[in-house]
Homo-oligomer: A and B are copies of this chain.
Amino acid sequence: MTTESQSLCTRSMQAPSSHHRRAWCPSFKLREVASMYCTMVAIFFIILVAALQGTAPSENHFPYKVPLDPEGILELSWNISYTEEVICFQLLIKELKYGVIFGMSDRGEFDNADLVVLWSDGKNSYFGDAWTDAKGQIHLDSQQDYQLLKAQKTFGGLLLLFKRPISTHDPKDYLIEDDTVHLVYGFLDEPFPSLEAINTSAIQKGLQRVQLLKPNISKPTLPPDLEDMEITAPDIIIPNQETTYWCYIKELPDHFSRHHIVMYEPIITKGNEALVHHMEVFQCAAEIEKVPHFNGTCDSKMKPEKLNHCRHVLAAWALGAKPFYYPEEAGLPFGGPGSSKYLRLEVHYHNPLELKGVHDSSGLRLYYTSMLRPFDAGIMELGLVYTPVMAIPPKETDFILTGYCTDKCTKLALPQSGIHIFASQLHTHLTGRKVITVLAREGRVTEIVNRDNHYSPHFQEIRKLKKIVTVLPGDVLITSCTYNTEDRKLATVGGFSITEEMCVNYIHYYPQTQLELCKSAVDPGYLQKYFHLINSFNNEDNGNYSNSSVKEQFASVSWNSFSRDVLKSLYDFAPISMHCNKSSAIRFPGEWERQPLPKIKMGLKEVTPQCQTIPGLSPASPALVNIDGKKG
């Protein structure tokens, strides 16, 4: 984010700001007055008429941009000022009828949402900070934290410029954190006499996921010999179905020597911005000598089996993400001996309107250098081993599974000065809802490595950490995933299939170590004890499950509060099998079975903003908006 962009948002804010504060937010003085002259409060509320003159902010004032709807009618740009604790939005409405709704909610639903609404009663247009209750009914917010700075008709559509504090202290507002934010939008196709008259269930609406609060990290200097390589889909036609994962194999040039990837960025075919959801470049396993070329959907029956060995992430991009820069002191090695020359591009197309015949050549552009940086960057997998012994009972709203990277493993595998984590990519399959990795030192949690309380399996991106986390030998890394299996009838076991589950945090760190994988799973013997006791408790012990797979055993459990609670207790108690591995197959030497669960105290206090709402005030008025070119 440039300082220019901040100052624009700040400049246009200043005059209205002080005015606004007096008008909308009762100051303490007003509160005193209010308590004495309650009935006089109303006259303090004035209608803010937004100034509609001035030039449109140029696009580069807003470093971040996403289309909201699949047709790209709504386009959101934003910037953040961490010093002023303000986030500034620019919403481009390419086709305006009677208004739009934009906002945020816990997981993209339209109830309990924090909204701004631009609406017309057929005569005038209004802008207001609003919220929906548990039934989706819209109400004007008594504390107007979204402030309209500009509403301007341009050639491209109506530009709405508005800002809000990052933290508003208003319980009706969404608390923007640095994890995934579910943005919601809706189109108003008819006039409404009032905000309350809008029926949110009847309008065209949708959601879009982004990380709004990107970390404020300055761009590292790039090496002078920078070269780039495009890994893009070869002019394919996007299938006319909602979800497509496209797979394409690309080969590195012959005799391509060892290089460091120092940056990469997305290439998105013009017009397809709303269709390309996320993209990843994987490197195939070095052991696979010849990977067949392939260009097709990843679930195709034609897909060669060998492509399943192309899982080593080189680069990942998701909607709203900016170019990814490695820290100046490190780069991701590729090429040269011991490195596969085969790369797999995977593009997730999200085509809910099932558009036909759309050509696409999107992909990623890798920037690399032969001037190797001081440190090789590495990627390490934390969390749970892909095994069915870790399972989630059905009908759970928030069941937690936890994987450990134990002190024994970090003691053995990490250098004395530790490793430095600078980025993280969280990963689960379909039922994942939250993921967190914490660092524990000397028995106490001391740091959050990465956390997403609004995690969605449909939105996975490599995220730079706000602050580099150093892991020393003897530290413990604990990764917990929260799952929702309300719609499942059987237990969901761990595994590779999309209907099975994973709990993984790919941490990006330097200097590279031999430790590729530091994950755990419950000891399988203890799980057998669980099956035995739960079946005998439920009087369903047929005594013959020695031939059954763990998945089948889980499928035959009668789920009730007891079998669920005891499974939880087992996972909180039973010893673990540690995978402290050099590669997915080779463990570090040592005893890794039946290891004790790390005993960790929660030493970290949750910092929740303590805010007080001001009760008993009448709802504030919305702002009157003068849009001359409003369509009817």
Which chain B positions have C-beta within 8 A of A536? 529, 532-533
CA distance A354 to B568 in the complex (A): 51
CA distance A536 to B537 in the complex (A): 12
Closest beta carbon of chain B to A40's beta carbon, Å: 17
CA distance A27 to B35 in the complex (A): 13
A256 at interface (Cβ–Cβ under 8 A)?
Answer: no
CA distance A169 to B139 in the complex (A): 31
Which chain B positions have C-beta within 8 A of A534? 533
CA distance A570 to B610 in the complex (A): 38
* Cβ < 8 Å to B, chain A residues 24-46: 27-29, 31-32
Which chain B positions have C-beta within 8 A of A610? 612
CA distance A277 to B31 in the complex (A): 50
Out of B27, B533, B560, B566, which one reaches A32, CB within 8 Å? B27
Q: A28-B29, A28-B32, A29-B32 known; A561 and B573 CB under 8 Å?
A: yes
A544 at interface (Cβ–Cβ under 8 A)?
Answer: no
Which chain B positions have C-beta within 8 A of A486? none
Which chain B positions have C-beta within 8 A of A612? 610, 612
A196 at interface (Cβ–Cβ under 8 A)?
Answer: no
Taking a contact as CB atoms under 8 Å apart, the answer to whether A573 and B569 are in contact is no
A565 at interface (Cβ–Cβ under 8 A)?
Answer: yes
A527-554: CB near B (< 8 Å → 1, else 0) gives 0010011101100000000000000000
Which chain B positions have C-beta within 8 A of A561? 569, 572-573
Closest beta carbon of chain B to A568's beta carbon, Å: 7
Which chain B positions have C-beta within 8 A of A27? 32
Chain B residue nearest in CB terms to A27 = B32
Which chain B positions have C-beta within 8 A of A572? 561-562, 565
Taking a contact as CB atoms under 8 Å apart, the answer to whether A565 and B560 are in contact is no
* Cβ < 8 Å to B, chain A residues 229-284: none
Chain B residue nearest in CB terms to A30 = B28
Closest beta carbon of chain B to A416's beta carbon, Å: 34
Chain B residue nearest in CB terms to A537 = B529
CA distance A563 to B156 in the complex (A): 67
Taking a contact as CB atoms under 8 Å apart, the answer to whether A569 and B562 are in contact is yes
CA distance A529 to B536 in the complex (A): 8
A574 at interface (Cβ–Cβ under 8 A)?
Answer: yes
Q: A568-B565, A610-B612 known; A560 and B537 CB under 8 Å?
A: no
* Cβ < 8 Å to B, chain A residues 566-591: 566, 568-570, 572-574
CA distance A612 to B27 in the complex (A): 16
CA distance A566 to B529 in the complex (A): 13
Closest beta carbon of chain B to A543's beta carbon, Å: 14
CA distance A537 to B532 in the complex (A): 9
Which chain B positions have C-beta within 8 A of A29? 28-29, 32
Looking at A560, A573, A574, which has the most chain B CB atoms within 10 Å of its CB?
A573
Chain B residue nearest in CB terms to A569 = B565
Out of B31, B569, B574, which one reaches A569, CB within 8 Å? B569
Which chain B positions have C-beta within 8 A of A32? 27-29
* Cβ < 8 Å to B, chain A residues 585-632: 610, 612
Q: A32-B28, A536-B532, A537-B533 known; A570 and B562 CB under 8 Å?
A: yes
Which chain B positions have C-beta within 8 A of A566? 565-566, 569
CA distance A532 to B529 in the complex (A): 12
Closest beta carbon of chain B to A442's beta carbon, Å: 20
CA distance A27 to B33 in the complex (A): 13
Closest beta carbon of chain B to A62's beta carbon, Å: 33
Looking at A560, A565, A610, which has the most chain B CB atoms within 10 Å of its CB?
A565
Which chain B positions have C-beta within 8 A of A574? 562
Which chain B positions have C-beta within 8 A of A529? 536-537
CA distance A27 to B572 in the complex (A): 50
Chain B residue nearest in CB terms to A31 = B28
Q: What 3 A-B pairs come out closest when comparing CB atoms?
A: A565-B569, A533-B533, A28-B28
9 CB-based A-B contacts, threshold 8 Å: A27-B32, A529-B537, A533-B534, A533-B536, A565-B565, A565-B568, A565-B573, A566-B569, A610-B612
Known A28-B32, A561-B573; further 5 A-B contacts with Cβ < 8 A: A29-B32, A533-B534, A560-B573, A569-B569, A612-B612
